[in-house]
Amino acid sequence: MVSVSLTVNGEKRTASVAPETTLLKLLRETFNLTGAKLGCDVGDCGACTVIVDGNLVNSCLMLAGQVDGRDVLTIEGLATSDQLHPIQKAFEDKGSLQCGFCGPGVIMSAKWLLDQNPDPSVADIRDALSGNLCRCTGYTKMIEAIQTIAREREDAKSVV
Amino acid sequence: MDTKTKTGTLLEAEELLRAPAPAPLVPFPLEVRVPDPSRQTPAVGQRTTRPDARTHGLGQTKYIDDFYVPGMLFAKIKRAGVASARILKVDTSEAEAMPGVVAVITGKDIPVNSFGPSLKDQPVLAHERVFHAGDGVAAVAAVTEQIAADALEKITVEYEEFTPVLDPLDSLKLETPGVHAPSANIYGHKLIKKGDIEKGFAESYRIFEASFRTQMVEHVPLEPHSSLAQWDANGRLTIHSTLGRITLGRADIARTLGIPMSRIRIIATVVGGNFGGKNEITTEPVVAMLSKKTGRPVKCTFTRPEEFYSSTTRHPIIMDYKTGVTKEGKILARKIRLVLDGGAYCSWSETTLGKACILCAGPYEIENLVAEAFVVYTNKTMTGAMRGFGAPQVCFGYESHMDDIAKALGIDPLEIRLRNALKEGSLSPTSQMLHSVVVRESLLQAAKRFGWTGSAQGAQA
């Protein structure tokens, strides 16, 4: 067994898991954070996307042992008890998700993008979502939603 | 909603990101949008939000793989890996002896080992014969997924392999061995006749012939097929499943398990993409039998490779078109032969065959028509329902054919379609009178929006 101690969504967590356990299984099965999904198990679909130390990661490809001492942010860590994250809000308003299975991964990719680049072009957004497969939506409304947030941030700045 | 709260949300949320996350299963006391039932709201033209949008975005929607039932076992299915074979021997003893493996079943453990939405030609687990490489030959229930996967490798199967039938045109031939002998390889046929085809061709200015074929397509829902069975001590079976058609699925499950439908309760979970691929049972009877054998809940989720080779796909179709036209491009006669590659089992082939055959002439007024369609067995992954049920394939065929004809006659591709398009009161290929027909209007509207100004070679007409 491997013992890991890490920060998940701002909370210190420790666990002891079998060495072959992936970060995805650790999150889903040990911590009951089932937002990240298993879609392909080989890093193709992006349904398992989370942020580790500020980097976007396919959690199905990372072993639990590799996140020891690191900081993991999952979809469950975006909203607070009384507020949606702006990306979640925009995705809800624009109807960006249909079956929703890819949603947590897509939103994490969008969050990472907006952290890096507050004013992304459509090409930047497409590039950031290139690791997330969606079979329902055709991505149009996701891109619209992410653009809206970027625009609102600009507005917010001018207000302040 | 006003911009003030929007900008407030934005800045504070960023700061609060690092605050401790709430426990994931506690509902958020977020402001909830509840419509006022006493007010009639105008639906058309209004923006609305999906009722599931919030839980989707929060990652709180519970798909089947997010469920865990205490004591639950994980099942995995051993796939044949050979396209056509007789099973001589299945040895599961080594797998059964592994620590953590609770039960192993094979085809002989399934009470009635055949099902299907129309023809009952598909085994739950292959017994005696393997019909395609994605057939299951044994299933393991173990305490972890990893142990179940390891156990599959300990199962040995001896096969007597046969030459598989892979080409649907070969499958049509009489001398080709039957995939499901003694049944014939052609298991579905439809013929539509209208007018006098020979007269139509005789009067034609030119006759065009072309052949088109489409490939097999997998639905690839992001959420793999999955089911979770609980067979209780009263002999009642509860199944959670990604199945789209639960009532139909229940009939098939009852048949395969040999128990009345009234003993079975199926709960459809939120589905992470279907597209027609989750219209029939897959793992349900397997987990049910494993649950009965072990007395514990059992879940089986397809791996991504299984999704490709063990679930249904879109029918590849070989389409032969022959069309007689006037000098002006008006279609006088059309003859079509469709050969659908049905793969190893019928599944929704009959529905697909019918729809493809009815639609294969295209949205055009054709007085003299013969359309004939066949669906044949091959030793490949079975084909079934997928969005459009055969319509997208034939659309590729007839529209490509129309483009070829337009080009050869020097007519603009839009113009040739307008000259042949169905009108109010036109008769369909099956001689049904059509109403509310807007083919012309739609084409003109689309041409306007695309900014279509005619093709280079479409000058003379």
Which of the 8 DSSP states describes residue B223? Answer: S
pLDDT at residue number A159 = 62
Residues A44 and A106 placed together within one structural domain of the fold: no
SS (H, E, C) B295-309: CCCEEEECCHHHHHH
B353-401 pLDDT tens trace: 999 999 999 999 999 999 999 999 999 999 999 999 999 999 999 999 9
Q: Residue B199 pLDDT > 50, yes or no?
A: yes
Rounded CA-CA distance A80/B16 in Å is 7
Rounded CA-CA distance B167/B340 in Å is 11
Residue A47 to residue B222, Cβ atoms within 8 A: yes
The mean pLDDT of chain B is: 91
Rounded CA-CA distance A92/A149 in Å is 12
Placement of tokens 């049904």 in the chain: B432
Per CB-CB distance under 8 Å, the chain B contacts of A89 are: 9, 57
The domain boundary residue, chosen from A57, A77, A97: A77
The separation between the first and the last C-alpha atoms of chain B, rounded to the nearest angstrom, is 56
User: CA dist B53 to A47, A100, A151, B61, B355, Å?
Assistant: 17, 8, 22, 9, 34
Contact B123, B180 (CB under 8 A): no
Per-window interface: A 1-20 vs B, CB < 8 A: 8-11, 18, 20
Environment class of residue B99 by beta-carbon count within 10 Å: exposed (0-12), middle (13-18) or buried (19+)?
exposed
B51 touches chain A (CB under 8 A): no
CATH, residue A93: 1.10.150.120
Per CB-CB distance under 8 Å, the chain A contacts of B275 are: 135
pLDDT at residue number B455 = 67
Rounded percentage of chain A residues whose pLDDT exceeds 70: 98
Q: Residue B256 pLDDT > 80, yes or no?
A: yes
CATH entry, B73-161+225-301, from 3.40.50.300, 3.90.1170.50, 3.20.20.100, 3.40.190.10: 3.90.1170.50
B107-150 pLDDT tens trace: 999 999 999 999 999 999 999 999 999 999 999 999 999 999 99
Residue A133 to residue B222, Cβ atoms within 8 A: yes
Q: Is B265 helix (H, G, I), strand (E, B) or coil?
A: strand
pLDDT at residue number A150 = 82
**Residue B368 CB neighbour total at 10 angstroms:** 22
- In this prediction, residue B456 has a pLDDT band, given cuts at 50, 70 and 90, of low
Rounded CA-CA distance B14/B1 in Å is 20
Overall residue count recorded for chain A in this entry: 160
pTM for the full predicted model: 0.90
pLDDT at residue number B332 = 98
Residue A99 to residue B62, Cβ atoms within 8 A: no
For residue A22, give the nearest of A87, A72, A81 by alpha carbon: A72
A51 touches chain B (CB under 8 A): no
CA atoms within 13 A on the CB side of B247: 0
pLDDT at residue number B16 = 46
Rounded CA-CA distance A4/B378 in Å is 51
Rounded percentage of chain B residues whose pLDDT exceeds 90: 86
pLDDT at residue number A89 = 93
Q: Residue A157 pLDDT > 90, yes or no?
A: no
Q: Residue B7 pLDDT > 70, yes or no?
A: no
Radius of gyration over every alpha carbon of chain A, rounded to an integer in angstroms: 16
A15-58 pLDDT tens trace: 999 999 999 999 999 999 999 999 999 999 999 999 999 999 99
Residue B329, phi-psi category: left (phi > 0), alpha (psi -120 to 50), beta (remainder): left
Q: Residue B15 pLDDT > 50, yes or no?
A: no
Q: Tell me whether strands B73-79 and B298-301 are parallel, antiparallel or unpaired.
A: parallel
Residues A94 and A66 placed together within one structural domain of the fold: no
Residues A14 and A62 placed together within one structural domain of the fold: yes
Contact B363, B401 (CB under 8 A): no
pLDDT at residue number B44 = 73
Residue B23 CA, distance from chain mean position: 38
ipTM: 0.95
pLDDT at residue number B28 = 57
In terms of pLDDT, which residue wins out, A154 or B8? A154
Q: Residue B200 pLDDT > 50, yes or no?
A: yes
CA atoms within 13 A on the CB side of B439: 20
If one looks up domain B169-216+313-450 in CATH, what number appears? 3.30.365.10
pLDDT at residue number B18 = 44
Per CB-CB distance under 8 Å, the chain B contacts of A135 are: 219-222, 273, 275
Q: Of the candidates B24, B65, B271, which has its C-beta nearest A33's C-beta?
A: B24
Rounded CA-CA distance A73/A50 in Å is 6
Residue A40 to residue B65, Cβ atoms within 8 A: no
Residue B59 to residue A104, Cβ atoms within 8 A: yes
Q: Residue B12 pLDDT > 70, yes or no?
A: no
Per CB-CB distance under 8 Å, the chain A contacts of B18 are: 10
CA atoms within 13 A on the CB side of B57: 28
Residues A13 and A58 placed together within one structural domain of the fold: yes
CATH, residue A24: 3.10.20.30
Q: Residue B457 pLDDT > 90, yes or no?
A: no
Per CB-CB distance under 8 Å, the chain A contacts of B56 are: 91, 97, 100, 103
Q: Out of A82-96, B218-232, B251-265, B333-347, which region has the weakest mean confidence (pLDDT)?
A: A82-96
Residue B284 CA, distance from chain mean position: 17
Which of the 8 DSSP states describes residue B387? Answer: T
Contact A99, A136 (CB under 8 A): yes
Rounded CA-CA distance A97/A91 in Å is 7
Q: Residue B459 pLDDT > 70, yes or no?
A: no
Which residues lie across from B336 on neighbouring strands? B321, B371
**Residue B238 CB neighbour total at 10 angstroms:** 18
B63-119 pLDDT tens trace: 999 999 999 999 999 999 999 999 999 999 999 999 999 999 999 999 999 999 999
Q: Residue B188 pLDDT > 70, yes or no?
A: yes
pLDDT at residue number B10 = 47
B72 touches chain A (CB under 8 A): no
* Domain encompassing residue A130: 86-159
B33 touches chain A (CB under 8 A): no
Residue A93, phi-psi category: left (phi > 0), alpha (psi -120 to 50), beta (remainder): alpha
pLDDT at residue number B29 = 58
CATH 3.30.365.10 boundaries in chain B: 169-216+313-450
Number of domains in chain A: 2
Environment class of residue B129 by beta-carbon count within 10 Å: exposed (0-12), middle (13-18) or buried (19+)?
middle
Q: Residue B9 pLDDT > 70, yes or no?
A: no
- In this prediction, residue B6 has a pLDDT band, given cuts at 50, 70 and 90, of very low
A104 touches chain B (CB under 8 A): yes
A83 touches chain B (CB under 8 A): yes
A–B interface: beta-carbon pairs under 8 A: 163
CATH 3.90.1170.50 boundaries in chain B: 73-161+225-301
Residues A121 and A56 placed together within one structural domain of the fold: no
Rounded CA-CA distance B62/B221 in Å is 16
A106-153 pLDDT tens trace: 999 999 999 999 999 999 999 999 999 999 999 999 999 999 998 887
Rounded CA-CA distance B117/B151 in Å is 32
Contact B344, B311 (CB under 8 A): no
Mutate to test the interface with B, among A99, A136, A149 (most CBs of B within 10 A): A99
B277 touches chain A (CB under 8 A): no
Q: Which residues contact B450 (CB under 8 A, 6 or more apart)?
A: none
User: What does the angle CA B148 – CA B149 – CA B153 come to, to the nearest 5 degrees?
Assistant: 110
Rounded CA-CA distance B349/B343 in Å is 9
Q: Out of B47-51, B97-101, B243-247, B289-293, which region has the weakest mean confidence (pLDDT)?
A: B47-51
pLDDT at residue number B39 = 72
Q: And the tokens for B202?
A: 């005789």
